[in-house]
Amino acid sequence: MEQNEQDQPRVSSISNEEAAPAKTAKSETWEWIKALVIAGVLVIIIRWFLFSPFIVDGDSMRPNFLSGERLIVNKIVYDIRAPKRGEVIVFHAPEGKDYIKRVIALPGETVKVTGDKVFINGQEIDQSFIKEAIEQANKEGHAYNTLSDFPETKVPDGELFAMGDNRPNSKDSRAKSVGFVPYNKVVGRAEVIFWPLNKISFIHF
């Protein structure tokens, strides 16, 4: 006697269509893991070798940089070329802190500071970055830079003369405890203010 098709024993099996989603999900998970690992490696490379965050601590760079602002420092630019006058740098100070200052004089140049005036190789330089601060102080009847003058001195090879924009309140190359800044102490060039949000801007163009 023949059996009905409904009475036939059924063999359960997984079709290719049913297996595909599981395989695809596993493949996607592996791709995500690889992407995250690569992203992590890139973050480490960027953080330690290319760029680094820096927090301004103190008022030595007022009025252009305020305490608490956060910057991105380019750590490789000076591996490609030497620093230039006017650039804002971060460097390891002798007392174990990192300072942020502005490059004023380069190796081999003579530098002299008399009141608000700065002379490089005997020629007064333009200081547009603190022009308004100087003018405001002069209107009030006094010099902006109230610290002692810096006598004409030649900058040694491989070193820089750097000062803070807040000339009356900056511990910089004018101070014997800081002095000239060796190239090998320079961390990098300040590139971007990224915090607070309303101050986001490029420092150098």
52, 163 Cβ separation under 8 angstroms: no
DSSP character at residue 58 = S
List 60, 75, 171, 173, catalytic entry:
60
116, 145 Cβ separation under 8 angstroms: yes
List 101, 170, 171, 173, catalytic entry:
101
Q: How far apart are CA 181 and CA 189, in angstroms?
A: 14
Please report the beta strands in the chain, taking only residues with DSSP state E, as ranges in sequence order: 51-55, 70-74, 88-92, 98-105, 110-114, 117-120, 123-124, 150-154, 159-163, 181-182, 186-195, 201-202
For the question of residue 60 being annotated catalytic, the response is yes
| List of residues 6+ apart from 56 with CB closer than 8 A | 65, 66, 67, 68, 69, 70, 71, 100
The catalytic residue positions are: 60, 101
